Amino acid sequence: MRIFHLVIIMLLIYVGIEWQHENNLFKNIGRMSVTKAGTTVDTAVVQSAMISIHQVMTSRHALFKDQIELSWKQDLLPSADIDLMYGAGACGGYSMVLARTLQLLGYQVRIGQLKTLNYGYGGHIVIEYYSTVLKHWVMIDPLFLWIPKDKKGEMASIKQVANHWEKFSTTMPKELEASYRFNDVRYTNWTRWWGAPKIFYHAVRLIKGTDYADGICLRMHVLSIFPWLFYGIISTYLLIVTWAMVKFRKSSVFTDVKGNQAVKDGQ
């Protein structure tokens, strides 16, 4: 039993160290972005983070050119730091790295799967963050280094771009305009795993409304696997200990009853 407790402690220490290492990596990128922006205003910080991450990932992608071999740890414990390390994942990788960085800066972020005319949902991946300065969601395309703005120069949301494409098409990157025109977005694919997540979706929609349910991004909760492992190990440990205690108690009660019965029979 002591070995079991020791293994659990060692696992928690290992996962905790990896979790802290990964968090600090993205926190440092965030701090650097604030320093480069020269202000804490979110619109400037986000743009600074987008540019810095794009530069790093582009250079690493040019170095590795997708010719990478993941370690056992990276295969078993996938997280957004893999995309950052190798500049991999194209639009999805760029979006996850930026989303993780902004998340650790304390921003409300969600990853959007755009419904493009050529490829359907997931044809292109971008992110949105809620600007406390502008009081609305803002679209960011870290792959193409584009933050859409209207004629007044205000940053726009994904829905605004989708519904008023012509207003933004003149300012967007040519490749995006040519290949990735979109007319809708989803933040979670509720049809995965045979549609089982839809139960959760419908429950939330009933309680909080359709707009709130449609804006849920489950992907933001799995950008790092380490918190899931950490709390999963603790939960499993507590369940096993509780089960063992209940079983031991039942065994003790049974032994006591049997012992008492033997004493009575002897009398």
Residue ranges of the domains in the chain?
2-244
Phi, psi of 154 (to 5 degrees): -85, 140
Residue 90: CA count within 13 A, CB half-sphere: 4
127: CB partners within 8 A, 6+ apart: 95, 98, 99, 102, 109, 110, 111, 112, 139, 140, 142
Mean pLDDT of all residues in 137-153 = 93
In the predicted model, is pLDDT for residue 237 greater than 80? yes
Q: Which long-range contacts does 115-118 make (Cβ < 8 Å, 24+ apart)?
A: 115/182, 115/183, 115/184, 115/185, 115/186, 116/179, 116/180, 116/181, 116/182, 117/181, 117/182, 117/183, 118/179, 118/180, 118/181
Q: Which long-range contacts does 104-110 make (Cβ < 8 Å, 24+ apart)?
A: 104/23, 104/26, 104/27, 104/30, 105/27, 105/30, 105/33, 105/34, 105/45, 105/49, 107/42, 107/46, 109/217, 109/220, 110/187, 110/215, 110/217, 110/219, 110/220
151: CB partners within 8 A, 6+ apart: 167
In the predicted model, is pLDDT for residue 264 greater than 60? no
Average pLDDT of the chain to the nearest whole number: 90
pLDDT given for residue 150 in this prediction: 85
pLDDT given for residue 78 in this prediction: 83
- What percent of the chain lies above the pLDDT cut of 70? 94
Angle (nearest 5°) at CA 263 between 258 and 267: 145
Q: What is the pLDDT of residues 87-130, one digit of tens each?
A: 888 899 999 999 999 999 999 999 999 999 989 999 999 999 99
In the predicted model, is pLDDT for residue 256 greater than 70? no
Q: What is the pLDDT of residues 189-205, one digit of tens each?
A: 999 888 888 999 999 99
In the predicted model, is pLDDT for residue 220 greater than 90? yes
Mean pLDDT of all residues in 23-46 = 96
In the predicted model, is pLDDT for residue 267 greater than 80? no
42: CB partners within 8 A, 6+ apart: 107, 129, 131, 132, 133
Q: What is the pLDDT of residues 166-186, one digit of tens each?
A: 889 888 999 998 899 999 999
In the predicted model, is pLDDT for residue 45 greater than 70? yes
In the predicted model, is pLDDT for residue 259 greater than 80? no
In the predicted model, is pLDDT for residue 266 greater than 60? no
Q: What is the length of the chain?
A: 267
- What percent of the chain lies above the pLDDT cut of 90? 70
pLDDT given for residue 44 in this prediction: 96
* Contact (Cβ atoms closer than 8 angstroms) between residue 107 and residue 129: yes
pLDDT given for residue 265 in this prediction: 59
Nearest Cα neighbor of 110 from 229, 214, 226, 231 is 214
pLDDT given for residue 68 in this prediction: 83
Q: What is the pTM of this model?
A: 0.89
pLDDT given for residue 249 in this prediction: 81
pLDDT given for residue 262 in this prediction: 53
